[in-house]
A = this chain, B = another copy of it.
């Protein structure tokens, strides 16, 4: 019942159990069938290998689907190193299968935070053949941890020690600072060399993208970045339809709980919240939404959800799901006031949506581990709550994340972004770009045949009437889908 805590490192990889490679490979084969976009890109670019020899570091949940992404990047020429971007999200058989092919991968389910950031560094460290390390030329990021590490390391080497020496707001923050101090000793000037070679990053997630825009606005972004999250075929598919499939999967594998008849609170009604709410309602739960944004709140109301505050649901709701990208959504004072045996989980990128540290520190609280990623916290009052995946992404911590087909959309965008960044490395500025709509439509198009969709084709007269090319793109930039 315990997740492995000692990776069976042997060659240039660290994974839980290499003997799982065969099983992983079987599931990769199945996933390839469900990922027509990636496979098509592979087919199209395998001959020209646009990323030939390019050093690519990936920091992205090490799942079966990611394995297909990794092998796509390799097929088009890249030299890949990989880490997961979450301590619980690795599927060990996927990591094993990748390691077995000789690709350096550093990831296992249930890392400590120290191990996690060491893995991130490992994924960044391309041996230079002389005992030293080169950095990546491109980064595939999810949540921005690699981007953060390089920026913070570079800042330190530029002589700004204020951050590493400041008091830390969380344990994780201190772990990063410790790592940077260690690197400063072991590899002097390393981050400056990394930045010199670094040509770009493509970022997957709302939260990571938000960080990138903040860096760009502050004029601190060190490379061109492509915002993959806001491709329509990412945000309106992965975030929405992905969560519609994987939230319930996480809840079910964690607690086998009946959703029908339950009162479920979804905090946030963005794309992720929309997918979560739709799924819970479809199971027969009564869904209550919380929102800060009046437009999203009105959308929720138009779909028939009650919209109110977390406070107003305490004692009534059975399940809480945070989806906001914001912090301190479910606070300790909420948790102690919940209905006995309420379930609390998060499906936003970071775990600070729920005050987990404060929960653990609460006087009189007793933590009972039910099984990996499922904990019961019993309060002094006798009431208890269930916390899933320690507040980290419940779909990846308690289940296997989004299914392959929707990830094929996201990862097709990632791959096209990587190709684009490399192709235009001399032209792009250190800003945040979005992929052109034509590519967005192309990603969609690559997924239609697999599910039997037959498109209508514009006549020339119709295209002329609309003032769009017959082949697209079809919509103005501001179109919302």
Contacts and interface: CB of A to CB of B under 8 A. Distances in A.
A44 interface: no
A304 B287 contact: yes
Nearest to A458: B292
Given A1-B23, A284-B241, A341-B33, A258 B403 contact: yes
Interface in A429-481: 434, 440-442, 444-445, 447-448, 451-459, 461-462, 465-467, 472, 474-476, 478, 480-481
Interface residues of A, number: 116
A263 interface: yes
Interface string A363-399: 0000010110000100000000010000000000001
Interface string A327-343: 11000000000001100
Contacts of A301: 260-261, 284, 448, 451, 453
A202 interface: no
Interface stretch (A111-119, A128-136, A138-146, A243-251): A243-251
A23 B371 contact: yes
A307 interface: yes
Interface string A286-326: 11001111111111111111111110100010100000011
A68 interface: no
Contact of A262 (B400, B442, B451): B451
12 contacts: A23-B371, A27-B370, A34-B257, A236-B480, A237-B298, A256-B403, A258-B403, A260-B303, A297-B444, A309-B455, A309-B456, A327-B461
The 7 closest A-B pairs by CB, nearest first: A282-B282, A258-B403, A258-B405, A294-B444, A294-B445, A480-B480, A261-B451
Interface of A: 1, 20, 23, 26-27, 30, 33-34, 64, 210, 213-214, 230, 232-233, 235-237, 241, 244-245, 248-249, 252-253, 255-263, 271, 278-279, 281-287, 290-310, 312, 316, 318, 325-328, 340-341, 368, 370-371, 376, 386, 399-400, 402-406, 409, 434, 440-442, 444-445, 447-448, 451-459, 461-462, 465-467, 472, 474-476, 478, 480-481
